[in-house]
Amino acid sequence: MCVQNCGPSFQSLIVKKEFVKENLVKLLNPRYNLPLDIQNRILNFIKTWSQGFPGGVDVSEVKEVYLDLVKKGVQFPPSEAEAETARQETAQISSNPPTSVPTAPA
């Protein structure tokens, strides 16, 4: 909520490498044993923030952290938009069953 409602000065602080690595990525460590939904939210924040904000906030540091996590093999959950697109495609496929191909008589 803060990211959406605060201005560029706040946004520029949360996308700093120090904040992301020392506060968010650190929480993904197995010793903290966070529930999977919380881990996925953290990963979604990192992924979303690395894509930028309106207003020209420099996101190069969080993007660097995101790319580093991708290189390490971290699986990021699909974003809300990606999940919605997948749901729509699934609904379209299930509502339009494949037509049967006529077969030649034996």
What number of residues does the chain have?
106
pLDDT tens per residue across span 11-50: 899 999 999 999 999 999 999 999 999 999 999 999 999 9
In this prediction the pTM is 0.73
Give residues with Cβ within 8 angstroms of 69, minimum separation 6: 25, 43, 46, 76
Domains of the chain: 1-78 (1.25.40.90)
User: Are the C-beta atoms of 22 and 61 separated by less than 8 Å?
Assistant: no
Residue pLDDT, tens place only, 57-101? 899 999 999 999 999 999 999 877 666 676 777 777 766 655 555
User: Within the chain, where are the H helices?
Assistant: 2-5, 8-14, 17-19, 36-50, 60-71, 80-95
